[in-house]
Amino acid sequence: MNTENIKNQARQIRRDIIEMTYCAGSGHPGGSLSSAEIMAVLYFHTLQHQPKDPGWEGRDRFYLSKGHACPVLYAALAEAGYFDRSLLKAFRHLGSQLQGHPHRLKTPGVEASSGSLGQGLSLAAGTALGLKMDQKPGRVFCLLGDGELQEGQVWEAAMAAGHFKLNNLCAIVDHNNLQIDGPVEKVMGIEPLADKWRAFRWQVIEVDGHNIQHLIRAFDFARGIKDKPTVILARTVKGRGVSFMENRAEWHGRAPNKEEYEKAMAELK
């Protein structure tokens, strides 16, 4: 896809996020909206995958470590053709294939169930190491939230990935500076973030996480790194695309009501 088409996919993903959380009456729109461009570039430019054959052995793997942001994953999977879009309106409903956190056994395209923060990078690093040991070509991608980096397990995984020179591993940090309790730096500061990743022997790329071209270049550059894992620090805005949600911590885990839904959808058209 060209840049404009990927931008349109990101816009549709945002509409789907609002639709899903409104229909469910619950969910996490803020951090889903902030990562729409990241997911659009991944699923419509970067990942080697076959939606009609989710278990294809030669595929790249994607892990959503911040599992509460699953609306953005489900929207991307539906747009890519993993399942029918009609399922999106059943998000978080009892018995639905689209649970409130990703469920590997229920949803085509989900590599691992997630929800407990801090665990995704460990799964991704282990998968990347296994692929290297088996001399398989697939790459592994993992999306984390910036508040999630307060979890110690993230840095254990980062240390291991650097030690084993997992150049087939790419982490992406959705760096929107907000978590459920407020600004990340007030809850527990994580800066200097780039220096920390470099200290763990990672290649660091810093980008505007809403710029499609910047993201494409970052993922393409990461593919060429030969001796270390790569982390893309994507500067984003929580609630991006919906004016009254942008940079508002209260939209971390709150669904829009009817009036808010209509206003958001009007803005996203």
pLDDT of residue 238: 98
Q: Is the peptide bond before 192 cis (omega within 30 degrees of 0)?
A: yes
User: What average pLDDT does this structure show over 22-49?
Assistant: 98
pLDDT digits (tens, 9 = 90+) for 122-164: 999 999 999 999 999 999 999 999 999 999 999 999 999 999 9
Percentage of the chain lying above the pLDDT 90 cut = 99
Domain spanning 3-268 has what CATH number?
3.40.50.970
pLDDT band for position 12 (50/70/90)?
Answer: very high
User: What average pLDDT does this structure show over 6-34?
Assistant: 98
pLDDT of residue 230: 98
pLDDT of residue 169: 98
Q: What is the 3-state secondary structure (H, E, C) of the chain?
A: CCHHHHHHHHHHHHHHHHHHHHHHCCCCCHHHHCCHHHHHHHHHHHCCCCCCCCCCCCCCEEEECCHHHHHHHHHHHHHHCCCCHHHHHHCCCCCCCCCCCCCCCCCCCCCCCCCCCCCHHHHHHHHHHHHHHCCCCCCEEEEEECHHHHCHHHHHHHHHHHHCCCCCEEEEEEECCEECCEEHHHHHCCCCHHHHHHHCCCEEEEEECCCHHHHHHHHHHHHCCCCCCEEEEEECCCCCCCCCCCCCHHHCCCCCCHHHHHHHHHHHC
pLDDT band for position 75 (50/70/90)?
Answer: very high
pLDDT digits (tens, 9 = 90+) for 80-119: 999 999 999 999 999 999 999 999 999 999 999 998 999 9
User: What average pLDDT does this structure show over 15-39?
Assistant: 98
pLDDT of residue 255: 98
pLDDT of residue 1: 82
Percentage of the chain lying above the pLDDT 70 cut = 100
pLDDT of residue 172: 99
User: What average pLDDT does this structure show over 173-196?
Assistant: 97
User: What average pLDDT does this structure show over 12-19?
Assistant: 98
pLDDT digits (tens, 9 = 90+) for 183-192: 999 999 999 9
pLDDT of residue 237: 98
Task: Share the mean pLDDT of the chain.
Answer: 97
pLDDT of residue 173: 98
User: What average pLDDT does this structure show over 51-70?
Assistant: 97
pTM, rounded to two decimals: 0.97
